[in-house]
């Protein structure tokens, strides 16, 4: 059989990508358990306009 699929197409692999994301999330969870919630965060959260560091130091809007 020929001509069923064009040569310029490719199959997307969703399962492999999902497995990589799950492994990454598991690794991030392990880091947070070992070193604390603020030990790892998105880069955008630590910029001048980011609030993650400040919010981590508060409970219910008040400093600990």
| Residue 13 tokens, joined | 């692999």
Question: 1-45 pLDDT, tens per residue?
Answer: 666 667 677 666 667 788 888 999 999 999 999 998 878 877 776
Report the DSSP beta bridge partners of residue 63: 58
Q: Nearest 5°: phi and psi at 44?
A: -60, -20
CA distance 46 to 43: 6
Q: Which of 35, 43, 37, 33 is nearest to 55 (CA)?
A: 37
Verdict on whether the full-model pTM lies above 0.75: no
**What is the Cα 9 distance to its own chain's centre?**
29
């Amino acid at each position: 059989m020929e001509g069923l699929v064009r040569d310029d197409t490719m199959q997307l692999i969703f399962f492999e990508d999902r497995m990589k994301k799950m492994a990454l999330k598991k690794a991030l969870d392990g880091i947070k358990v070992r070193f604390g919630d603020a030990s790892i965060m998105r880069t955008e959260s630590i910029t001048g306009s980011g609030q993650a560091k400040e919010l981590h130091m508060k409970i219910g809007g008040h400093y600990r």
